[in-house]
Amino acid sequence: MAYSLKEQVEKPERLAGGHRLCAGCGASVAVRGVLRALKPEDKAVITNATSCLEVSSYLYPYTAWQDSYIHSAFENAGATAGGVEAAYRVLKKKGKIDDTFKFIAFGGDGGTYDIGLQSLSGAMERGHDMVYVCYDNEAYMNTGIQRSSSTPRFADATTTPAGSVIPGKPQNKKDLTAIIAAHNIPYVAQTTFIGNFKDMHEKAEKAIYTKGPAFLNIMSPCPRGWRYEAEDLAEICKLAVDSCVWPLFEVESGIWKLTYEPRKKLTVEEYLKKQGRFKHMFEDGNDWMIEAAQKYVDEKWETLLARCK
């Protein structure tokens, strides 16, 4: 069935408005896009690691979630979702549940790349029929914009402040999507918000309805941590994709496939200059940072192209 944006936006919302996420935050866009890929007749159990998303969408007794919702600790969203999925299979086998449930875990990069990596890896290796979605905003935004292993090199974060001692974060970003792909699970994909959301919808639908474990990594910018104007969210994501900072691809049954290739590959500089966290890179004498960032992105892009061929 061909993708129809009109049909998707007419589906009932599974994440209600009125939550406390910031204007211009990518997390709510990611969640709404993923949940919209569910069939209307299917139910879902949502597991949410401690994060901006959790504290902003659930404050007892109020919740923005229309489906069953579990707030787990930072480190165990993968284990929690896997445990519930295992219990469901047992109850389904015994005839105690008739409805079809899907199991989706959401975590930020802090609870996915770092604190929850062991739990996530275990759930993927055990083969639970679930989807883990990382909304990647590239720092610990909920607790004060501290660097995570997802934070890009040279980004100005509160624990890696750009100054005379260090030029922002010294290390490059961890490639978590490739790490999860190395688990040899049925489906892994990387996406974000561009155009008519077709790429994100199709990948979310595949992830949810592919039997076995699946993983989605969604670039989800943060206006406070990245320091951009709220209305620039979609433009930032488009620049990330067209500069190949955040390429769009999927790994299906071990086969790597590029799902979008820019007609004109932009320079990394065009992506960086829209964000205050990289402002220092454009100061006199710091050209080497932009050159290093470009070199790293080019090398990663060529590696990805080779994998996809």
Range of the domain at 65: 12-308
Query: What proportion of the chain, given as a percentage, has pLDDT over 90?
Result: 94
7 lies in a domain?
no
Tell me: the pLDDT tens digits for 253-274?
Answer: 999 999 999 999 999 999 999 9
288 lies in a domain?
yes
CA distance 31 to 38: 12
Confidence of residue 10 (pLDDT cuts 50, 70, 90): confident
Q: Which residues lie across from 70 on neighbouring strands?
A: 47
Please indicate whether residue 300 or residue 1 has the higher confidence score (pLDDT): 300
263 CB-contact burial (10 Å; exposed 0-12 / middle 13-18 / buried 19+): exposed
pLDDT at 195: 87
H-only helix segments in 36-96: 52-57, 77-93
Is there a contact between 153 and 290 (Cβ–Cβ < 8 Å)?
Answer: no
3 lies in a domain?
no
Confidence of residue 1 (pLDDT cuts 50, 70, 90): low
5 lies in a domain?
no
- For range 63-67, the mean pLDDT: 96
Number of structural domains (the chain) is: 1
User: What's the token pair of residue 197?
Assistant: 């959301």
Identify the CATH number of the domain in which residue 190 sits: 3.40.50.970
Q: Residue 2: is its pLDDT beyond 80?
A: no
pLDDT at 196: 87
10 CB-contact burial (10 Å; exposed 0-12 / middle 13-18 / buried 19+): exposed
Specify the pTM: 0.97
Tell me: the pLDDT tens digits for 79-121?
Answer: 999 999 999 999 999 999 999 999 999 999 999 999 999 999 9
CA distance 196 to 204: 14
6 lies in a domain?
no
